[in-house]
Structure 1
Amino acid sequence: MKKGRFWITPDPYHNDDNIQIGREVKISCQVEATPPEELIFSWLKNGRPLRSSERMVITQTDPDVAPGTTNLDIIDLKFTDFGTYTCVASLKNGGIPEISIDVNISSTTVPPNLTVPREKSPLVTQEGDTVDLQCLVSGKPKPIILWSRSDKEAPMPDGNMLSESYDGVLRIVNVSREMTGTYRCQTSQYNGFNVKPREATVELIVQCK
Protein backbone atom coordinates (compact mmCIF):
# COMPACT_ATOMS: atom_id res chain seq x y z
CA MET A 1 0.00 0.00 0.00
CA LYS A 2 1.09 3.54 -0.71
CA LYS A 3 0.48 6.62 1.37
CA GLY A 4 -3.12 7.73 1.19
CA ARG A 5 -4.73 11.07 0.51
CA PHE A 6 -8.06 12.69 1.27
CA TRP A 7 -10.33 15.47 0.07
CA ILE A 8 -13.35 17.26 1.50
CA THR A 9 -16.37 18.12 -0.66
CA PRO A 10 -18.28 20.88 1.21
CA ASP A 11 -21.67 20.08 -0.34
CA PRO A 12 -22.01 17.81 -3.39
CA TYR A 13 -25.48 19.22 -4.21
CA HIS A 14 -24.90 22.97 -3.89
CA ASN A 15 -22.37 25.25 -5.54
CA ASP A 16 -20.78 26.31 -2.27
CA ASP A 17 -17.14 26.23 -1.18
CA ASN A 18 -17.79 26.40 2.55
CA ILE A 19 -18.86 23.84 5.12
CA GLN A 20 -22.26 24.84 6.51
CA ILE A 21 -24.40 23.55 9.34
CA GLY A 22 -27.48 21.79 7.98
CA ARG A 23 -25.80 20.87 4.70
CA GLU A 24 -24.00 17.73 3.58
CA VAL A 25 -20.24 17.17 3.81
CA LYS A 26 -18.41 14.35 2.04
CA ILE A 27 -14.99 13.12 3.14
CA SER A 28 -13.18 10.91 0.62
CA CYS A 29 -10.15 8.79 1.37
CA GLN A 30 -8.00 7.06 -1.26
CA VAL A 31 -5.18 4.55 -0.86
CA GLU A 32 -3.18 2.93 -3.65
CA ALA A 33 -2.88 -0.84 -3.35
CA THR A 34 -2.48 -3.83 -5.64
CA PRO A 35 -5.03 -5.22 -6.13
CA PRO A 36 -7.38 -2.46 -4.88
CA GLU A 37 -10.13 -5.06 -4.35
CA GLU A 38 -8.14 -6.39 -1.37
CA LEU A 39 -8.48 -3.12 0.54
CA ILE A 40 -10.62 -2.96 3.66
CA PHE A 41 -11.62 0.45 5.05
CA SER A 42 -12.92 1.45 8.44
CA TRP A 43 -13.77 4.87 9.89
CA LEU A 44 -13.27 6.39 13.33
CA LYS A 45 -14.56 9.60 14.88
CA ASN A 46 -12.34 11.00 17.63
CA GLY A 47 -10.75 7.56 17.93
CA ARG A 48 -14.00 5.61 18.23
CA PRO A 49 -15.34 3.22 15.56
CA LEU A 50 -17.94 4.75 13.26
CA ARG A 51 -20.69 2.69 11.66
CA SER A 52 -22.78 3.59 8.65
CA SER A 53 -26.18 5.07 9.55
CA GLU A 54 -28.91 7.23 8.01
CA ARG A 55 -26.91 10.39 8.71
CA MET A 56 -23.38 8.98 8.49
CA VAL A 57 -23.27 7.04 5.22
CA ILE A 58 -20.11 5.04 4.51
CA THR A 59 -19.52 3.70 0.99
CA GLN A 60 -16.58 1.76 -0.44
CA THR A 61 -17.80 0.78 -3.89
CA ASP A 62 -18.82 4.09 -5.42
CA PRO A 63 -18.75 3.60 -9.24
CA ASP A 64 -18.02 7.32 -9.75
CA VAL A 65 -14.67 7.25 -7.96
CA ALA A 66 -11.36 5.50 -8.51
CA PRO A 67 -10.68 2.06 -6.99
CA GLY A 68 -9.28 2.15 -3.49
CA THR A 69 -11.57 4.99 -2.41
CA THR A 70 -14.03 5.18 0.46
CA ASN A 71 -16.51 7.98 1.19
CA LEU A 72 -18.11 9.22 4.38
CA ASP A 73 -21.22 11.35 3.77
CA ILE A 74 -22.34 13.40 6.75
CA ILE A 75 -25.98 14.35 6.13
CA ASP A 76 -27.45 17.48 7.77
CA LEU A 77 -24.20 18.55 9.46
CA LYS A 78 -24.54 19.46 13.15
CA PHE A 79 -22.14 21.09 15.61
CA THR A 80 -21.83 17.72 17.35
CA ASP A 81 -20.39 16.31 14.11
CA PHE A 82 -17.28 18.46 14.38
CA GLY A 83 -14.22 16.41 15.25
CA THR A 84 -11.41 14.31 13.80
CA TYR A 85 -12.41 11.58 11.37
CA THR A 86 -9.90 8.83 10.67
CA CYS A 87 -9.95 6.58 7.63
CA VAL A 88 -8.06 3.31 8.22
CA ALA A 89 -7.01 1.13 5.28
CA SER A 90 -5.71 -2.43 5.51
CA LEU A 91 -5.42 -5.48 3.26
CA LYS A 92 -7.65 -8.53 3.66
CA ASN A 93 -4.74 -10.93 4.01
CA GLY A 94 -2.82 -8.62 6.35
CA GLY A 95 0.95 -8.73 6.38
CA ILE A 96 1.30 -5.01 5.64
CA PRO A 97 0.92 -2.24 8.25
CA GLU A 98 -2.36 -0.38 7.94
CA ILE A 99 -2.53 3.24 6.82
CA SER A 100 -4.59 5.83 8.69
CA ILE A 101 -5.51 9.34 7.53
CA ASP A 102 -6.87 12.01 9.86
CA VAL A 103 -9.31 14.67 8.60
CA ASN A 104 -10.46 17.44 10.92
CA ILE A 105 -13.91 18.97 10.41
CA SER A 106 -14.63 22.08 12.48
CA SER A 107 -15.86 25.67 12.31
CA THR A 108 -12.30 26.68 11.34
CA THR A 109 -12.17 24.31 8.35
CA VAL A 110 -12.07 26.74 5.42
CA PRO A 111 -11.44 26.51 1.66
CA PRO A 112 -8.07 27.55 0.21
CA ASN A 113 -6.92 30.97 -0.91
CA LEU A 114 -3.94 31.68 -3.16
CA THR A 115 -2.05 34.93 -3.76
CA VAL A 116 1.33 36.06 -5.09
CA PRO A 117 3.30 38.69 -3.12
CA ARG A 118 3.45 41.90 -5.14
CA GLU A 119 7.25 41.99 -5.05
CA LYS A 120 7.49 38.39 -6.30
CA SER A 121 6.15 38.94 -9.82
CA PRO A 122 7.69 39.76 -12.17
CA LEU A 123 10.82 38.18 -10.73
CA VAL A 124 14.05 39.23 -12.44
CA THR A 125 17.16 37.10 -12.01
CA GLN A 126 20.38 36.20 -13.83
CA GLU A 127 21.54 33.01 -15.48
CA GLY A 128 23.07 30.54 -13.04
CA ASP A 129 21.26 31.94 -10.00
CA THR A 130 18.94 30.06 -7.65
CA VAL A 131 15.47 31.56 -7.49
CA ASP A 132 12.33 30.90 -5.43
CA LEU A 133 8.93 31.38 -7.07
CA GLN A 134 6.35 31.91 -4.35
CA CYS A 135 2.59 31.59 -4.00
CA LEU A 136 1.08 32.25 -0.58
CA VAL A 137 -1.48 29.59 0.27
CA SER A 138 -3.92 29.58 3.17
CA GLY A 139 -6.79 27.34 4.16
CA LYS A 140 -7.48 24.63 6.68
CA PRO A 141 -6.46 22.03 5.76
CA LYS A 142 -3.72 23.65 3.68
CA PRO A 143 -3.69 22.03 0.22
CA ILE A 144 -0.79 20.84 -1.89
CA ILE A 145 0.26 23.37 -4.55
CA LEU A 146 0.82 22.25 -8.15
CA TRP A 147 3.24 24.24 -10.32
CA SER A 148 3.26 24.20 -14.12
CA ARG A 149 4.23 26.39 -17.07
CA SER A 150 1.51 28.56 -18.59
CA ASP A 151 2.78 27.29 -21.93
CA LYS A 152 1.26 23.84 -21.43
CA GLU A 153 3.74 22.20 -23.80
CA ALA A 154 6.80 23.50 -21.95
CA PRO A 155 8.13 21.22 -19.18
CA MET A 156 9.14 22.42 -15.75
CA PRO A 157 12.87 22.94 -15.04
CA ASP A 158 13.09 19.40 -13.59
CA GLY A 159 11.71 17.95 -16.83
CA ASN A 160 8.26 17.08 -15.46
CA MET A 161 5.04 18.76 -16.54
CA LEU A 162 3.92 19.29 -12.92
CA SER A 163 5.78 19.94 -9.66
CA GLU A 164 4.26 19.60 -6.19
CA SER A 165 4.94 22.00 -3.33
CA TYR A 166 3.73 21.79 0.26
CA ASP A 167 4.68 25.37 1.17
CA GLY A 168 3.85 27.16 -2.11
CA VAL A 169 7.52 27.69 -3.03
CA LEU A 170 9.09 26.45 -6.26
CA ARG A 171 12.91 26.57 -6.08
CA ILE A 172 14.80 26.61 -9.37
CA VAL A 173 18.56 26.01 -9.22
CA ASN A 174 20.97 27.23 -11.90
CA VAL A 175 18.33 29.05 -13.95
CA SER A 176 18.79 29.48 -17.69
CA ARG A 177 17.22 31.83 -20.22
CA GLU A 178 15.02 28.96 -21.48
CA MET A 179 13.28 29.06 -18.10
CA THR A 180 11.99 32.59 -18.72
CA GLY A 181 8.20 32.65 -18.85
CA THR A 182 4.99 32.48 -16.84
CA TYR A 183 4.57 29.85 -14.15
CA ARG A 184 1.16 28.85 -12.80
CA CYS A 185 0.50 27.74 -9.25
CA GLN A 186 -2.83 26.16 -8.36
CA THR A 187 -4.36 24.36 -5.42
CA SER A 188 -4.78 20.61 -5.58
CA GLN A 189 -7.98 18.98 -4.33
CA TYR A 190 -5.90 16.36 -2.54
CA ASN A 191 -5.37 16.84 1.18
CA GLY A 192 -7.73 19.78 1.04
CA PHE A 193 -11.06 20.95 -0.36
CA ASN A 194 -12.57 19.41 -3.48
CA VAL A 195 -13.52 22.78 -4.96
CA LYS A 196 -12.64 24.74 -8.09
CA PRO A 197 -8.83 25.18 -8.01
CA ARG A 198 -7.46 28.56 -6.99
CA GLU A 199 -4.84 29.80 -9.46
CA ALA A 200 -2.19 32.50 -9.67
CA THR A 201 0.77 33.19 -11.95
CA VAL A 202 4.37 34.31 -11.47
CA GLU A 203 6.41 35.90 -14.26
CA LEU A 204 10.09 34.88 -14.35
CA ILE A 205 12.62 36.90 -16.35
CA VAL A 206 16.13 35.43 -16.69
CA GLN A 207 18.81 37.85 -17.93
CA CYS A 208 22.29 37.17 -19.29
CA LYS A 209 25.18 37.76 -16.91
Structure 2
Amino acid sequence: MSKAPPAKKVAPPPPGCTLDINDPQVQEAAIRIQASYRGHRSRKELREKGPPRILQELKDVVLLEGSAAKLECRVSAFPDPFIVWSKDGKELKDGPKYRYMFEDPDIVALVVRDGELSDLGQYTVSVKNAFGEAYDSARIIVEVPAKIEKGPDSIKAKKGSTVTLKAVISGEPAPDVGWVKNGEDIEEDDRVFYEIDDTSTILTIKKVQASDAGKYEIFVENNLGVDQSFARVDIM
Protein backbone atom coordinates (compact mmCIF):
# COMPACT_ATOMS: atom_id res chain seq x y z
CA MET A 1 0.00 0.00 0.00
CA SER A 2 1.56 3.26 -1.12
CA LYS A 3 1.98 6.16 1.23
CA ALA A 4 0.81 9.73 0.50
CA PRO A 5 3.67 12.04 -0.27
CA PRO A 6 4.64 14.26 2.60
CA ALA A 7 2.98 17.74 2.59
CA LYS A 8 5.12 20.53 1.28
CA LYS A 9 6.09 23.13 3.74
CA VAL A 10 5.01 26.69 2.83
CA ALA A 11 7.86 29.05 3.16
CA PRO A 12 7.16 32.00 5.46
CA PRO A 13 6.92 35.46 3.80
CA PRO A 14 10.05 37.52 3.72
CA PRO A 15 10.56 39.82 6.65
CA GLY A 16 8.44 43.00 6.43
CA CYS A 17 5.87 41.47 4.00
CA THR A 18 3.28 40.32 6.49
CA LEU A 19 -0.08 42.16 6.79
CA ASP A 20 -2.01 42.55 9.96
CA ILE A 21 -5.66 43.15 8.96
CA ASN A 22 -6.27 44.65 12.35
CA ASP A 23 -3.57 47.25 11.77
CA PRO A 24 -5.31 50.72 11.42
CA GLN A 25 -2.92 51.72 8.62
CA VAL A 26 -3.78 48.56 6.65
CA GLN A 27 -7.49 49.19 7.11
CA GLU A 28 -7.14 52.81 5.97
CA ALA A 29 -5.22 51.72 2.82
CA ALA A 30 -7.92 49.18 2.00
CA ILE A 31 -10.60 51.86 2.32
CA ARG A 32 -8.67 54.15 -0.07
CA ILE A 33 -8.31 51.34 -2.63
CA GLN A 34 -12.03 50.57 -2.47
CA ALA A 35 -12.94 54.28 -2.81
CA SER A 36 -10.61 54.63 -5.78
CA TYR A 37 -12.24 51.62 -7.47
CA ARG A 38 -15.73 52.96 -6.82
CA GLY A 39 -14.68 56.36 -8.21
CA HIS A 40 -13.28 54.71 -11.36
CA ARG A 41 -16.49 52.73 -11.79
CA SER A 42 -18.62 55.86 -11.26
CA ARG A 43 -16.60 57.84 -13.80
CA LYS A 44 -16.98 55.00 -16.30
CA GLU A 45 -20.76 54.96 -15.76
CA LEU A 46 -20.91 58.74 -16.19
CA ARG A 47 -18.98 58.52 -19.46
CA GLU A 48 -21.48 55.92 -20.66
CA LYS A 49 -24.69 57.44 -19.26
CA GLY A 50 -23.84 61.11 -18.73
CA PRO A 51 -23.81 62.57 -22.29
CA PRO A 52 -27.08 64.41 -23.02
CA ARG A 53 -29.73 62.61 -25.03
CA ILE A 54 -33.01 63.81 -26.52
CA LEU A 55 -35.65 61.38 -25.28
CA GLN A 56 -38.66 63.12 -26.85
CA GLU A 57 -38.11 65.36 -29.87
CA LEU A 58 -39.37 68.87 -30.42
CA LYS A 59 -42.48 69.22 -32.58
CA ASP A 60 -43.54 72.01 -34.94
CA VAL A 61 -46.11 74.33 -33.38
CA VAL A 62 -48.50 76.97 -34.72
CA LEU A 63 -48.33 80.45 -33.22
CA LEU A 64 -51.28 82.79 -33.65
CA GLU A 65 -50.52 86.49 -33.87
CA GLY A 66 -50.68 88.07 -30.42
CA SER A 67 -50.67 84.76 -28.56
CA ALA A 68 -47.93 82.50 -27.15
CA ALA A 69 -46.46 79.18 -28.24
CA LYS A 70 -44.37 76.59 -26.39
CA LEU A 71 -41.69 74.26 -27.72
CA GLU A 72 -40.74 71.41 -25.40
CA CYS A 73 -38.75 68.19 -25.32
CA ARG A 74 -37.59 65.54 -22.83
CA VAL A 75 -33.88 65.18 -22.20
CA SER A 76 -31.57 62.93 -20.23
CA ALA A 77 -28.24 64.14 -18.87
CA PHE A 78 -26.12 63.80 -15.70
CA PRO A 79 -24.85 66.04 -14.31
CA ASP A 80 -27.56 68.60 -15.13
CA PRO A 81 -26.96 70.16 -18.57
CA PHE A 82 -26.59 73.75 -19.72
CA ILE A 83 -29.50 74.71 -22.02
CA VAL A 84 -29.38 77.22 -24.90
CA TRP A 85 -32.23 78.02 -27.30
CA SER A 86 -31.65 79.68 -30.67
CA LYS A 87 -33.72 80.83 -33.65
CA ASP A 88 -32.32 80.46 -37.16
CA GLY A 89 -28.83 80.16 -35.66
CA LYS A 90 -29.07 83.18 -33.32
CA GLU A 91 -29.08 82.59 -29.55
CA LEU A 92 -32.22 83.68 -27.71
CA LYS A 93 -31.85 85.32 -24.31
CA ASP A 94 -34.19 84.36 -21.48
CA GLY A 95 -36.45 87.36 -20.90
CA PRO A 96 -39.92 88.84 -21.49
CA LYS A 97 -40.13 87.71 -25.13
CA TYR A 98 -38.48 84.29 -24.86
CA ARG A 99 -38.88 82.38 -21.62
CA TYR A 100 -36.73 79.36 -20.70
CA MET A 101 -38.71 76.80 -18.68
CA PHE A 102 -37.79 73.60 -16.82
CA GLU A 103 -40.65 71.25 -15.98
CA ASP A 104 -40.42 68.01 -14.00
CA PRO A 105 -36.96 66.43 -13.87
CA ASP A 106 -36.40 66.09 -17.61
CA ILE A 107 -38.62 68.54 -19.56
CA VAL A 108 -37.08 71.68 -21.07
CA ALA A 109 -39.24 74.23 -22.88
CA LEU A 110 -39.20 77.61 -24.59
CA VAL A 111 -42.21 79.91 -24.49
CA VAL A 112 -42.47 82.55 -27.24
CA ARG A 113 -44.78 85.39 -26.21
CA ASP A 114 -46.67 88.11 -28.10
CA GLY A 115 -46.58 86.20 -31.38
CA GLU A 116 -45.87 88.10 -34.59
CA LEU A 117 -44.92 87.21 -38.14
CA SER A 118 -41.20 87.68 -37.42
CA ASP A 119 -41.35 84.76 -34.96
CA LEU A 120 -41.70 82.34 -37.88
CA GLY A 121 -38.56 80.22 -38.22
CA GLN A 122 -36.53 77.23 -37.01
CA TYR A 123 -35.81 76.92 -33.29
CA THR A 124 -33.01 74.76 -31.88
CA VAL A 125 -32.31 73.56 -28.34
CA SER A 126 -28.73 72.75 -27.32
CA VAL A 127 -28.28 70.44 -24.31
CA LYS A 128 -24.68 70.37 -23.06
CA ASN A 129 -22.73 69.07 -20.07
CA ALA A 130 -19.16 67.94 -19.37
CA PHE A 131 -19.69 64.67 -21.24
CA GLY A 132 -21.19 65.89 -24.51
CA GLU A 133 -23.87 67.84 -26.34
CA ALA A 134 -27.17 67.06 -28.06
CA TYR A 135 -29.37 69.14 -30.38
CA ASP A 136 -32.90 69.13 -31.70
CA SER A 137 -34.89 71.54 -33.87
CA ALA A 138 -38.47 72.35 -34.85
CA ARG A 139 -40.34 75.15 -36.57
CA ILE A 140 -42.77 77.73 -35.30
CA ILE A 141 -45.41 78.38 -37.94
CA VAL A 142 -47.00 81.78 -37.47
CA GLU A 143 -50.57 82.42 -38.52
CA VAL A 144 -51.64 86.03 -39.02
CA PRO A 145 -55.07 87.21 -40.20
CA ALA A 146 -55.12 88.88 -43.62
CA LYS A 147 -54.79 92.63 -43.20
CA ILE A 148 -54.37 95.78 -45.27
CA GLU A 149 -51.65 97.70 -43.48
CA LYS A 150 -52.08 100.75 -45.73
CA GLY A 151 -54.82 101.19 -48.28
CA PRO A 152 -54.52 102.87 -51.70
CA ASP A 153 -54.70 106.66 -51.95
CA SER A 154 -57.43 108.37 -53.97
CA ILE A 155 -56.12 110.04 -57.10
CA LYS A 156 -57.02 112.51 -59.83
CA ALA A 157 -55.53 111.72 -63.22
CA LYS A 158 -55.45 113.18 -66.72
CA LYS A 159 -56.77 111.23 -69.69
CA GLY A 160 -54.06 109.16 -71.33
CA SER A 161 -51.87 108.99 -68.23
CA THR A 162 -51.02 105.93 -66.16
CA VAL A 163 -52.56 105.41 -62.72
CA THR A 164 -51.26 103.10 -60.00
CA LEU A 165 -53.07 102.21 -56.80
CA LYS A 166 -50.93 100.53 -54.16
CA ALA A 167 -51.88 98.73 -50.95
CA VAL A 168 -49.54 97.33 -48.29
CA ILE A 169 -50.79 93.92 -47.12
CA SER A 170 -49.88 91.21 -44.62
CA GLY A 171 -51.05 87.78 -43.52
CA GLU A 172 -49.84 84.23 -42.99
CA PRO A 173 -50.79 82.09 -44.80
CA ALA A 174 -50.36 84.56 -47.65
CA PRO A 175 -53.78 86.07 -48.35
CA ASP A 176 -55.79 85.91 -51.57
CA VAL A 177 -56.08 89.36 -53.15
CA GLY A 178 -58.84 90.79 -55.32
CA TRP A 179 -59.55 94.21 -56.87
CA VAL A 180 -63.06 95.49 -57.57
CA LYS A 181 -64.34 98.56 -59.42
CA ASN A 182 -67.78 99.92 -58.55
CA GLY A 183 -68.70 96.56 -57.03
CA GLU A 184 -67.59 94.45 -60.01
CA ASP A 185 -64.51 92.24 -60.22
CA ILE A 186 -61.83 93.78 -62.41
CA GLU A 187 -61.13 91.76 -65.55
CA GLU A 188 -57.43 92.09 -66.26
CA ASP A 189 -56.05 92.83 -69.71
CA ASP A 190 -53.01 94.58 -71.22
CA ARG A 191 -54.28 97.98 -70.06
CA VAL A 192 -55.71 97.20 -66.60
CA PHE A 193 -53.96 94.64 -64.38
CA TYR A 194 -52.63 94.12 -60.87
CA GLU A 195 -49.54 92.55 -59.31
CA ILE A 196 -49.09 90.89 -55.92
CA ASP A 197 -45.96 90.23 -53.85
CA ASP A 198 -45.34 89.27 -50.23
CA THR A 199 -46.13 92.69 -48.76
CA SER A 200 -48.05 94.70 -51.37
CA THR A 201 -50.35 94.73 -54.37
CA ILE A 202 -50.46 97.35 -57.14
CA LEU A 203 -53.29 98.00 -59.59
CA THR A 204 -52.14 99.65 -62.82
CA ILE A 205 -54.40 101.44 -65.32
CA LYS A 206 -52.67 102.54 -68.53
CA LYS A 207 -53.94 105.26 -70.87
CA VAL A 208 -56.78 106.13 -68.52
CA GLN A 209 -60.17 106.97 -69.98
CA ALA A 210 -63.21 108.74 -68.60
CA SER A 211 -64.80 105.34 -68.03
CA ASP A 212 -62.00 104.44 -65.62
CA ALA A 213 -63.31 106.88 -63.01
CA GLY A 214 -64.95 105.28 -59.99
CA LYS A 215 -64.50 103.54 -56.64
CA TYR A 216 -61.76 100.91 -56.49
CA GLU A 217 -61.73 98.40 -53.65
CA ILE A 218 -59.13 95.86 -52.57
CA PHE A 219 -59.97 92.70 -50.61
CA VAL A 220 -57.52 90.40 -48.82
CA GLU A 221 -58.50 87.09 -47.25
CA ASN A 222 -56.98 84.01 -45.62
CA ASN A 223 -58.38 81.32 -43.33
CA LEU A 224 -58.01 83.65 -40.33
CA GLY A 225 -59.68 86.80 -41.56
CA VAL A 226 -60.76 89.29 -44.24
CA ASP A 227 -59.90 92.97 -44.71
CA GLN A 228 -60.70 95.61 -47.31
CA SER A 229 -59.96 99.20 -48.29
CA PHE A 230 -60.88 101.52 -51.14
CA ALA A 231 -59.87 104.64 -53.07
CA ARG A 232 -61.46 106.86 -55.71
CA VAL A 233 -60.07 107.61 -59.15
CA ASP A 234 -61.25 110.82 -60.80
CA ILE A 235 -60.38 111.66 -64.39
CA MET A 236 -59.80 115.28 -65.37
So what's the TM-score if we normalise by structure 2? 0.36
Which structure: greater helix fraction? 2
Q: Which of 1 and 2 has greater Rg?
A: 2
Q: State the structure with bigger RCO (CA 8 A, min sep 6), 1 or 2.
A: 1
So what's the TM-score if we normalise by structure 1? 0.40
